Amino acid sequence: EYGDPVPLVAYAIAQSTQLLCFDEFQVTDVADALVMRRLFRHLFAMNLVMVATSNREPSKLYLNGIQRTSFLPFIDDLKGRCECHDLESEIDYRMLAQVSNGARTFVYPLNAQTDRDMDELFNSLTAGRRVSPQTLKLRGRELQVPRAGVGVSIARFSFNEVCGRPLGAEDYLGIASAFHTVLIERVPQLSLNEVNQVRRLITLVDAFYDKRVRLIISAEVRMEELFRPEGAATSEVHGDLIGTAAYVPNAADEVFAFDRTLSRLKEMAAHEYLVRTAGHEERASATFSLYESDSVLSPKTAMELFQVYDLDNSGLLELPEVRLLMEDLCEQRKGHRNVLEEEVQHAFALMDVDESGEVSPYEFTEVFANTRLANVQVLQFGDQVPDEAGPRRGRVGRVARSA
């Protein structure tokens, strides 16, 4: 109806922001390459500012890709409009962190002892809970999880179950959203003969890393030897954009991408990553599930929510913990975590009825019990609560709806 959509998309983006930030900027698909060239030409013409990180300098983007000559003008635009800074270092700081902490989230080789270690670790993490298969529903599809702890967000897969099947980024993001800890066992040494499994493992690690999943692996060889690129490449054939040609993909992209995967695996084994994950896991999971629920929170459920945010197990919520709760609620309601400090102070003061400087379980339960967390609104500081929000309950009602 409107013809070429690219100018309209570019205009809509430029109207909504003046700055675009990209992490891990890469191009691996011919359709993406051609669309990006046209889209960014319009965005640059509208004086949009772009900041990006990449493992490749601009001249090596989409290297060896089909129809790359059509992409080269975009590279010229990048060079002409962006200042490029090479941050390459000979020091692998992720490796230093892993070695300094002696992490045991990656165990090898595969033998009876390794299997026993994985069994003991899984049993310890699930705390003796019943283990059973689970089904994740992803946009009308179902993804089977063979082993998961009931009531705890911990899952266990074999490598073939999670990378030997035709799964993609959406599947791995679904797993990462459902489970804060995932065990993957019996990972073999891979070569280009298993390039599809290599690609899936790369995608899986990217998804888990972005979602801060704690990943525990048992493998045939040590981490640095997981991928042997000297193996023969697959003969899988892809067509070009309009299906008029075929080619055997150059495996250089997989080799390059796996270097990033290896670096991320090392970071995910480091103490600093695991600490961030441990503080994130149950909090995000519980808040999301409560937010999605339309049922009224019982006092028991409100108390469970309190315990999720009582990060130091002190039995009281301090200001930073209330701030964290408000940021999570804001992210669910508005898609960002930008909560003004005045809003945090205001909500904390309303919850802290006895002005002790801390929120007790009783005070917290009074706020959230008998409310629907899905209806909690994140208001700008000083905004009035609309009348249609329902009857208030004195201080309690104001807190529940101003959080």
Question: Whose CA is closest to 200, among 229, 231, 171, 167?
Answer: 167
Residue 77 sits in the same domain as residue 100 = no
Residue 37 sits in the same domain as residue 179 = no
11 domain residue, yes or no? yes
CA distances from 36 to 32, 217, 257, 264 (A): 6, 36, 20, 27
Residue 30 sits in the same domain as residue 173 = no
Residue 149 sits in the same domain as residue 129 = yes
| Confidence at residue 392, expressed as pLDDT on a 0 to 100 scale | 36
Query: How many Cβ atoms from other residues are within 10 Å of residue 230's Cβ?
Result: 7
55 domain residue, yes or no? yes
Distance CA 167, CA 117 (A): 28
| Confidence at residue 372, expressed as pLDDT on a 0 to 100 scale | 63
Collapsing DSSP to helix, strand or coil, 146 comes out as strand
Rounded to 5 degrees, φ, ψ at 215 are: -110, 125
76 domain residue, yes or no? yes
| Confidence at residue 305, expressed as pLDDT on a 0 to 100 scale | 79
Residue 323 sits in the same domain as residue 386 = yes
| Confidence at residue 391, expressed as pLDDT on a 0 to 100 scale | 37
Between helix 395-402 and helix 341-351 the angle, nearest 10°, is 150
- Domain final residue, candidates 217, 243, 275: 275
Residue 118 sits in the same domain as residue 174 = yes
Residue 134 sits in the same domain as residue 76 = no
Residue 52 sits in the same domain as residue 122 = no
Residue 177 sits in the same domain as residue 246 = yes
Distance CA 304, CA 290 (A): 10
283 domain residue, yes or no? no
87 domain residue, yes or no? no
| Confidence at residue 223, expressed as pLDDT on a 0 to 100 scale | 92
pLDDT in tens, 17-70: 999 998 878 787 778 888 888 898 899 889 999 999 887 888 888 887 788 888
Q: Give the chain's domain count.
A: 3
Residue 235 sits in the same domain as residue 338 = no
1 domain residue, yes or no? no
Beta-strand pair 154-158/181-187:
parallel
Match 């917290």 to its residue by tokens: 364
Q: Which amino acid is at 348?
A: F
What CATH number corresponds to the domain at position 343?
1.10.238.10
| Confidence at residue 1, expressed as pLDDT on a 0 to 100 scale | 56
Give me the residues of the chain with pLDDT under 70, please: 1-2, 89-103, 231-253, 271-272, 274-296, 311-313, 332-333, 371-403
- Domain final residue, candidates 240, 275, 310: 275
281 domain residue, yes or no? no
Distance CA 370, CA 295 (A): 9
Collapsing DSSP to helix, strand or coil, 157 comes out as strand
Angle (nearest 5°) at CA 366 between 361 and 368: 95
400 neighbors 368 (Cβ within 8 angstroms): yes
CA atoms within a 13 Å half-sphere pointing along the CA-CB vector of 267: 19
Residue 109 sits in the same domain as residue 229 = yes
Let me know if 113 is exposed, middle or buried by CB neighbors in 10 A (0-12, 13-18, 19+): exposed
DSSP class per residue in 243-301? SS-EEPPPTHHHHHHHHHHHHHHHHHTSHHHHHHHHHHHHHHHHHHHHHH--SPPPHHH
Residue 144 sits in the same domain as residue 30 = no
| Confidence at residue 218, expressed as pLDDT on a 0 to 100 scale | 95
Domain region containing 377? 293-402
Q: Alpha helices, DSSP H only, in 293-392? A: 299-309, 319-334, 341-351, 361-368
Distance CA 181, CA 155 (A): 7
285 domain residue, yes or no? no
